[in-house]
Chains A and B, each alone.
Chain A
Amino acid sequence: MSTADLQSASRWVDDHGECLYRYALVRVRKPEVAEDLVQETFLAAVRGYEQFGGRSSERSWLVGILKNKIVDYFRKLGRETSFTDMEFLSDEFSEKFVSVGFWNHDLGPHEWKPEPDEVMHRAEFWQVMRDCLSRLPEKIRAVFTMREMDGVPSKEICAILSISDSNLWVMLHRARMALRECLEMHWFDTPAGGTT
């Protein structure tokens, strides 16, 4: 690789490093893992620069590489240990239901206001979202992130993580329950969340 190419690679780190790092961090949550993934992305980009035909922007190309690195990271986790987590929230908030299985009316979902378009402009909301996602156990958060943040089809997630459809549905159900509860408690039921 020429000095000029090395200078380009160094410029990528300055121009795109922060964006890629945040992209990775919201998905894996561990700063050291996010840094490693960004580093691997740049290394892969340098090695495969000839394949970058300029059809997309430099950043889109780098994000594409990072996406694959993140999937590889989750795939590796799935190979090393079982990616199934059936212990988390196994009672599925049973206290919220009366014995026959209907909602206990006092504990059912509250009405959420304001509308999503309004909260999306508020930095505090995203901080609450981040904190609530951080509370999910790693495997549960990983499946939720892939499915809901990145829109990966459920069949594909099962293949990446080597888990069954039914295990995935249970994990997603509990992730959604826990996140819903956390957002309600820490945002929608608070004065900050209820007002604009």
Chain B
Amino acid sequence: MLVKFIGKHTPKCREMIRILSQSMDEPLPLMMRIKKRLHFLICCWCQRYEEQLHYMRRTAREFPKHADEASDVPFSTEARERIKRKLTENVR
């Protein structure tokens, strides 16, 4: 009964994940925050989805620090020399 009520009065999951994504970029209005909390009572998937959005943000912020571990294209000696040549040409 309660599950049906919440299901009927809160956004469906497909819409909810769109709202969750938007909430990463701007604060939700109070009423929507309440609806989100209610929706989470009946839906562990949407709750998990929100946790994963935060997880991805945390890892994305860390990603540049690990660029060397993830890099597939090294900074070649040729590139280094090209840049040095260009610097010499341009500053003379």
Contact = CB atoms under 8 A, between A and B. Distances in A.
B22 A116 contact: no
B43 interface: yes
A30 to B, nearest CB: 9
B7 A102 contact: yes
Given A13-B84, A105-B45, A176 B53 contact: yes
Given A1-B92, A120-B59, A130-B70, A101 B25 contact: no
B64 interface: yes
B75 interface: yes
B25 A102 contact: no
A111 B83 contact: no
Query: Which of the four size classes fits the interface of chain B?
Result: 35 or more
Interface string A105-127: 10011111000100110010111
B37 interface: no
A127 B69 contact: yes
Query: Which of the four size classes fits the interface of chain A?
Result: 35 or more
A47 B91 CA distance: 8
A103 B13 contact: yes
B30 interface: no
B77 to A, nearest CB: 10
A83 to B, nearest CB: 16
Interface in A148-196: 148-149, 151, 154, 168-169, 172-173, 176-177, 179-180, 183
Contact of B43 (A25, A103, A133, A172): A103
B56 A176 contact: yes
Contacts of A10: 84, 87-88
B33 interface: no
A183 to B, nearest CB: 7
A9 B75 contact: no
B14 interface: yes
Interface string A1-37: 1000110011001100110011101100001000100
Q: Which 9 A-B pairs have the closest CB atoms?
A: A101-B12, A108-B45, A126-B70, A130-B70, A148-B60, A22-B67, A173-B21, A123-B69, A21-B75
